[in-house]
Amino acid sequence: MSIYKRFSLLGVLFILMSVLTAPIAEAHGENGLPGFLRLRTVTFFDVNFTPNQEQFKQGDEMTITGKLKILESWPTNVAEPKVAYISVDAPGPAVLVKERWVNGEFTPGSIFVEKGKVYDFKVKVTFRKEGRYHVHPSLLVEHAGPLIGPGHWVDVKASTTPFTNPITLINGKTVDLEKYGLGTVVGWHLIFFAIGAIWLVYWLVRPVLARMLLVEQGKFSELVSKRDKIAGAVIAVVVAMTLFGGYTYAKTAFPGGIPQQVYRFAPEDLKLNHFVTYKVESATYGPTTQTVVMKVLITNHGSDPVRVTQFSTAYIDFVNKALAKPDTEHVMTVSPDARITPGETKSVELTLQDEIWQKANLLPIEEAQISMAGLLFVQDDKGNRDFGTIAAPLKTDYQTILEVLKKKEEFIR
């Protein structure tokens, strides 16, 4: 093989290597939990997108509000939730996160969280990129990964003016964060690069491979001359002066810098008035009909009669069929759907028949143990609402599992 071929082969190999390893290096973020674990980890509810519309243009804002509860049924085989980050899920920096509030407090970074607690969030985003994309609120939990709330489609049209992101620095200057400091960065990179290139060119204009023979013969003085050593001294002085110049420039052009700031706190608890308690009597799942049936004992400790309004799990709300609007996506039947009077304990059967269980891989029957968990909501006539976690392993008929698996196998064939 010729030297040319060998080198081009090696070159191609290394380029391939760098291309192939780049995604690995960048995708080291945390992986999402499998669907069936999501039911038991976090429930999003009351999520609203304001303005609730699809059409936007670059630079428009949207506010995402909602609540989430880190469930008591958090699986033991997933790392205990301690540190979390409330964010949005969108195609990367297509949106800018302008504000994040948790339980009424502005939140610069991550928060300390606890199982069983409820967090009220507000995230304000600005649309930066045009295009049609899905935006969700999300909770990223350390060692457990992202848990995504309900999504909202937006169609962002290009603005006639170029997108800018003005921000006022503490020194009073307003800058565009889209390109602030880039000139400085590129300029200094070019200066350093140029000095490096001069040093390389100084040596590489002379024969290169021929040096090998002289090295073998030990003729080192012919290879590095006195003149070369002086050139080395000159370039070293140039480097030292440039470094001093860079240092001075940084001090004078950008005085008063501070290090990165890490603010992490536990948000103050929300004041929640609980007046209802729940106890799950039984929970079953029929895979062929994709139906979850839960029998729940509800006790009303309040002073007004209450009615079951909703069951929420992961990012899905199942609304009591009797209360559903025409555009309600997921419903459940509640029977009996009578009011539970103060002091009364009533057994209520919830039937949730929905394609989503398998479509979103929330209840895959191949798993060793499947469970249902989520929040059950009740409301009295005055509009007072209460909710609590219900969680139970799902019993399912062994015979039907076999049938479904067999069908799946046939389908694959």
Partner 1 sequence: MGMPEQAQKSQQLVRQRSRFLLDRRYDAIFVFGVLFIVIGAAHVVFMLLAGDWDFWTDWKDRQWWPLMVPVMGLIVPSALQYIAWTLLRLPIGATLAAVCLVIGEWVNRFFNFHGWTDFPLNFVWPSTMVPTAILLDVILMWTNSWLLTTLFGASLWGLLFGVENMPLIAPFRIPVEYGGYVLSTADVQGFQYLRTTTPEYIRIVEQGNFRAFLQQFSTVTAVAAAVISFASYWFGQLIGRVLAVLPIGKFMKQT
Residue ranges that bind Cu ion, judged by CB under 5 A: 134, 151
Q: Does 8 bind partner 1 (CB under 8 A)?
A: yes
CB of 134 to Cu ion, least distance (A): 3
CB of 66 to partner 1, least distance (A): 18
DSSP string across 40-64: TTEEEEEEEEES--SEEETT-EEEE
Binding mask 222-241 for partner 1 (x = CB under 8 A): -xx---xx--xx-xx--x--
**Residue 108, φ and ψ in degrees, nearest 5:** -70, -30
CB of 284 to partner 1, least distance (A): 36
Q: Are 257 and 308 in contact (CB under 8 A)?
A: no
Q: Does 184 bind partner 1 (CB under 8 A)?
A: yes
- Look up residue 108 and give its DSSP letter: S
CB of 356 to partner 1, least distance (A): 23
CB of 156 to Cu ion, least distance (A): 15
Alpha-carbon distance of 391 to 281, in angstroms, equals: 10
Structure tokens at 82: 């301690």
Decide whether 44 or 387 has the Cβ nearer to Cu ion: 44
Binding mask 186-225 for partner 1 (x = CB under 8 A): x-xx--xx-xxx-xx--xx--xxxxxxxxxxx--x--xx-
CB of 42 to partner 1, least distance (A): 14
Structure tokens at 55: 């059409």
User: Hey, which residues between 150 and 169 contact partner 1 (CB under 8 A)?
Assistant: 165, 167-169
Structure tokens at 113: 């969280």
List Cβ neighbours of 341 (8 Å cut-off, separation of 6 or more). Answer: 300, 305
Structure tokens at 274: 């609980």
Q: Does 265 bind partner 1 (CB under 8 A)?
A: no
Q: Are 144 and 81 in contact (CB under 8 A)?
A: yes
Decide whether 131 or 364 has the Cβ nearer to partner 1: 131
Residue of closest CB approach to Cu ion? 134
Q: Are 126 and 67 in contact (CB under 8 A)?
A: no
Q: Which of 50, 51, 80, 243 binds partner 1 (CB under 8 A)?
A: 243
Q: Which does 134 bind (CB under 5 to 8 A by kind): Cu ion, partner 1, none?
A: Cu ion
Q: Which of 50, 55, 114, 249 binds partner 1 (CB under 8 A)?
A: 249
Q: Which does 265 bind (CB under 5 to 8 A by kind): partner 1, Cu ion, none?
A: none
Decide whether 53 or 184 has the Cβ nearer to partner 1: 184
Q: Residue 123, class by beta-carbon neighbours within 10 Å (0-12 exposed, 13-18 middle, 19+ buried)?
A: buried
Structure tokens at 407: 């069908």
Decide whether 97 or 360 has the Cβ nearer to partner 1: 97
User: Hey, which residues between 32 and 91 contact partner 1 (CB under 8 A)?
Assistant: 83-85, 87-90
Q: Which does 151 bind (CB under 5 to 8 A by kind): partner 1, Cu ion, none?
A: Cu ion
Q: Does 338 bind partner 1 (CB under 8 A)?
A: no
Q: Which of 109, 166, 336, 342 binds partner 1 (CB under 8 A)?
A: 109
List Cβ neighbours of 367 (8 Å cut-off, separation of 6 or more). Answer: 36
Q: Residue 104, class by beta-carbon neighbours within 10 Å (0-12 exposed, 13-18 middle, 19+ buried)?
A: exposed
CB of 254 to partner 1, least distance (A): 4
Structure tokens at 222: 């012919």
CB of 406 to partner 1, least distance (A): 38
Decide whether 34 or 232 has the Cβ nearer to partner 1: 232
Three-state DSSP at 408 gives: helix
Q: Are 45 and 104 in contact (CB under 8 A)?
A: no
Q: Are 38 and 135 in contact (CB under 8 A)?
A: no
